[in-house]
Amino acid sequence: MPKSVNRQIILKRRPQGLPKSEDFDYREVPLQAPKDGQILLRNVYLSLDPAIRGWMDGREDSYQPPIPLGHIMRAVTIAEVVDSRNTNYSPGDFVMGLNGWEDYSISTGTGFINKIPADNQLPLPVYLSVLGTTGLTAYFGLLDVGKPQPGETVLVSAAAGAVGSVVGQIAKIKGCRTVGIAGSAEKCAQLVNTFSFDETIDYKSTDSLEMEIKRTCPDGIDVYFDNVGGGMLQAALNCLKDGARIVMCGAISTYNATEPVPGPANLWQLLVHNARLEGFIVSKYASQFPEGVSQLADWLRDGSIKHKEHIVPGLRNTSDAFLKLFSGENVGKLIVQMD
Amino acid sequence: MPKSVNRQIILKRRPQGLPKSEDFDYREVPLQAPKDGQILLRNVYLSLDPAIRGWMDGREDSYQPPIPLGHIMRAVTIAEVVDSRNTNYSPGDFVMGLNGWEDYSISTGTGFINKIPADNQLPLPVYLSVLGTTGLTAYFGLLDVGKPQPGETVLVSAAAGAVGSVVGQIAKIKGCRTVGIAGSAEKCAQLVNTFSFDETIDYKSTDSLEMEIKRTCPDGIDVYFDNVGGGMLQAALNCLKDGARIVMCGAISTYNATEPVPGPANLWQLLVHNARLEGFIVSKYASQFPEGVSQLADWLRDGSIKHKEHIVPGLRNTSDAFLKLFSGENVGKLIVQMD
pLDDT value of residue B11? 97
| CA-based nearest distance B270→chain A, Å | 5
Instruction: For residue A28, list its beta bridge partners.
Output: A7
Which residues neighbour A26 within 8 Å (Cβ) at sequence distance 6 or greater?
Answer: A7, A8, A9, A10, A316
- Closest CA in chain B for residue A276: B278
pLDDT at B330 over 80: no
Asked if the C-beta of A251 comes within 8 angstroms of chain B's C-beta atoms, the answer is: yes
CB contact under 8 A, B279 and A280: no
The reported pLDDT for the residue numbered B64 is 81
pLDDT of residue A240: 98
Measure the CA–CA gap between A21 and A8, rounded to whole angstroms. Answer: 15
The reported pLDDT for the residue numbered A295 is 97
Sketch the domain layout of chain A as residue ranges.
5-129+308-337, 133-283
Contacts of A210 in chain B (CB under 8 A): none
Q: How does residue B259 score in pLDDT terms, banded at 50, 70 and 90?
A: confident
**Contact: B275, A273; criterion CB under 8 Å:** no
Q: Is the pLDDT of residue B327 over 90?
A: no
CB neighbours (10 Å) of residue A100? 22
- How many interface pairs between A and B have CB atoms less than 8 angstroms apart? 103
Q: Does A98 touch chain B (CB under 8 A)?
A: no
Q: What is the mean pLDDT of chain B?
A: 93
Cross-chain Cβ contact B275/A279 below 8 Å:
yes
Neighboring chain A residues of B268 at a CB cutoff of 8 Å = 251, 254, 279
Q: Is B257 on the interface with A (CB under 8 A)?
A: no
Interface predicted TM-score of the whole assembly (ipTM), two decimals = 0.87
Confidence of residue B2 (pLDDT cuts 50, 70, 90): low
Measure CB to CB from residue A276 to each of B62, B254, B277 and give the nearest one: B277
Residue B121 has pLDDT above 90, yes or no: no
Question: At residue B119, does pLDDT exceed 90?
Answer: no
CB atoms within 10 A of CB B302: 8
- Contact flag B267-A265 (C-beta cutoff 8 Å): no
**Can you give the pLDDT at residue A1?**
52
Of A248, A268, A271, the CB nearest to B280: A271
CA–CA dist B51, B34 (Å, integer)? 29
B277/A270 Cβ within 8 A: yes
Q: How confident is the model at residue B313, as a pLDDT?
A: 96
Short-list B116, B56, B74, CA closest to B92: B116
Question: Which range is least confidently modeled, A155-164, B27-36, B103-112?
Answer: B103-112
> Considering chain A, what percentage of its residues have pLDDT values greater than 70?
99
Contact assessment for residue A105 and residue A77, using Cβ atoms and an 8 Å cutoff:
yes
Question: Given A262, A273, A274, which is nearest B265 (Cβ)?
Answer: A262
- For residue B280, is it left (φ>0), alpha (ψ between -120 and 50) or beta? beta
Is the pLDDT score of B257 beyond 80?
Answer: no
Which residues between 25 and 64 in chain A have a beta carbon less than 8 angstroms from any beta carbon of chain B? 61-63
| 8 Å CB contact between B9 and B25 | yes
List B312's β-bridge partners, or say none.
Answer: B336
Q: Which fold has domain B133-283?
A: Rossmann fold (3.40.50)
Q: Output the tens digit of pLDDT for each of chain A's 339 residues.
A: 556 899 999 999 999 999 999 999 999 999 999 999 999 999 999 999 988 998 999 887 777 889 999 999 999 999 999 999 999 999 999 999 999 999 999 999 877 778 888 777 788 999 999 998 899 999 999 999 999 999 999 999 999 999 999 999 999 999 999 999 999 999 999 999 999 999 999 999 999 999 999 999 999 999 999 999 989 999 999 999 999 999 999 877 777 777 778 889 999 999 999 999 999 999 899 899 989 999 999 999 999 999 988 999 999 999 999 998 888 777 778 999 998
Same fold, B5-129+308-337 and B133-283: no
- Most B CBs within 10 A among A272, A282, A284, A287, hence the mutation to make, goes to A272
The verdict on a CB contact (< 8 Å) between A273 and B265 is no
Give the pLDDT of residue B260: 78
Q: What number of helices (H) and strands (E) belong to chain B?
A: 9, 15
B266 touches chain A (CB under 8 A): yes
State the pTM of this model: 0.89
Predicted pLDDT at B115: 87
Chain B contact present for A315, CB below 8 A: no
Whether A271 and B262 lie within 8 Å, measured CB to CB: no
Q: Find the range with the poorest average confidence among B1-5, B232-236, B244-248.
A: B1-5
The whole-angstrom distance between B249's CA and the closest CA on chain A is: 7
Neighbour count for residue A334 (Cβ, 10 Å): 25
Task: Report the distance separating Cα B216 and Cα B200, nearest Å.
Answer: 8
Please compute, for residue B232, the number of CA atoms within 13 A of its CA located in the half-sphere on the CB side.
27
Give the Cβ contact number of residue A335 at 10 Å.
27
**Greatest Cα pair distance in chain B:** 63
CA dist A172 → A139, A266, B243 (Å): 12, 29, 28
Long-range Cβ contacts of B104-108 (<8 Å, 24+ apart):
B104/B2, B104/B6, B104/B31, B104/B40, B104/B41, B104/B42, B104/B43, B105/B40, B105/B41, B105/B43, B105/B77, B105/B79, B106/B32, B106/B34, B106/B38, B106/B39, B106/B40, B106/B41, B107/B38, B107/B39, B107/B41, B108/B37, B108/B38, B108/B39
Query: What is the least distance, in Å, from the CA of A191 to any CA of chain B?
Result: 26
Check residue B255 and give its pLDDT: 75
Instruction: Give B237→chain A minimum CA distance, Å.
Output: 12
Query: Is the dihedral angle over the CA atoms A328, A329, A330, A336 positive or is it negative?
Result: negative
Q: Are strands A221-226 and A240-248 parallel, antiparallel or unpaired?
A: parallel
pLDDT of residue B1: 52
Q: Does B256 touch chain A (CB under 8 A)?
A: no
- The shares of helix, strand and coil residues in chain A, as percent rounded to the nearest 5, are 30, 30, 40
A102 within 8 A of A6, measured Cβ to Cβ? yes
Give dist(CA B142, CA B167) in Å, integer.
6
CB–CB of B279 and A279 under 8 A? no
Q: Which CATH number fits domain A5-129+308-337: 3.30.470.20, 3.40.50.261, 3.40.50.12160, 3.90.180.10?
A: 3.90.180.10
Residue B203's contacts (CB-CB under 8 Å, 6 or more residues apart) are: B181, B182, B183, B209, B212, B232
pLDDT confidence tier of residue B51, bands split at 50, 70 and 90: confident
Cβ–Cβ below 8 Å for B276 and A275:
no
